[in-house]
Chain A
Amino acid sequence: MDKTLYKNVFVFAEQRGGVVQNVAFELIGKASELAASLGEKVVALLLGHEIEQQARLLIEYGADEVICIDHPYLKDYLTEQYSQAVYQAIMEYKPSVFLIGATTIGRDLGPRLSARLNTGLTADCTKLEISENKELLMTRPAFGGNLMATIICSDHRPQMSTVRPGVMQKAERQTGRKGEIIRMPVKFDESKFKVRLKETVKENKGLVDITEARILISGGRGVGSKEGFSKLQEMAEVLGAEVSASRAVVDAGIIDHDRQVGQTGKTVRPDLYFALGISGAVQHLAGMEESDYIVAVNRDKTAPIFKVADLGIVGDVSKIVPLLTERLKKEIQEK
């Protein structure tokens, strides 16, 4: 394959319900850095129906061009419809790099496309850089986060990678930033449409497995009552986090066993773990010490939890949690 034919950093601008998802802006932020190192352009690929007004926003967040594929078939995500459209865009515009959000949509579309294009795909990258010889270096965790690996895709194009939401930072929005919007027509092979979307249901996913949560707000004896835990729940909702607990509060019947962290509960490794009012018995530490970043709040400054915490705060959980929830709300709104 002639790699010199492939240029520019493409971002799949995922939309749901006609709204471009945050992860797209985050990827554009990263793509701008990569494109600068390569001396190439950032191009956002936007698929949907009556979606063009969203293209402006992508430009304001850093896209130099937006390729807009507007078609009734693309209103809601369906694997084959989207694969056909994106495939045609890639064949026509030949990007060197193609970034996709590691969402349920991105993790469905990415591998399907990589097989259709016969190129590599690296999942859930946490770091992306350009090497001296202009290759994309894709770093990701492996073995349940125990090991990091840097992956390259030397002989195939585009170099494809998925990135989880929240991993990259979006750039500052520049109102009025100029960029080109290209409307691309596509041809569909309808005979391949074998899946029909019957129903989309939104629900509050309060009952997910705590081992899969990216952020855990964990409470112990220091949180005390059910009322105390309802404050943690509020904080969790702001952060898109899950609430978990130490054994003491599970045994006291304040919270269900399926949310217990520790040797007799679950082993968790979230990106962020709040240990609130948890002293940190060995059996609890065994279940959470390998979390990426641990914030502990406890009144007792000799509590063992502070030995594993990245950030330890001596203080009263009942005072700090409501204040923190308010501040988080503000920060996230401003973002």
Chain B
Amino acid sequence: MDSKIQIVSIVGAAILLLAILDLVRRRRLLERYALLWLLAAVVVLGLAIWRDGLEEIASAVGVAYPPNALFLIAFGFILLLLLHFSTAVSKLADQSKILAQRQALLEERLREAEEKLGDPEKVEEWQTT
């Protein structure tokens, strides 16, 4: 394999790995979302360094030029990460819906309580219910 592309791959993957670790260290990235990223960076870095392994994988899946196998693997991880984010966004959307509903229900309860507190006779009624 061309040593130039190997160096580029190693440097790129190493920078990615360090950037992810730094984001986690600075608490900008939650560990649960960092895991898939770390796995991707480690695998790509590992294959960039271990040329024999990459060449074996390339011939096994029928890729003529081994660095392309590296891109294929990286592409697979990107798809996986995007899917992971779509599920994370869906979950957030669902949770924010529930929060909005709970908030509206609470606000209405507060309005109801305030209405009853405004009227001394109703305060008693409210306290007994």
Bound pair: A and B? no
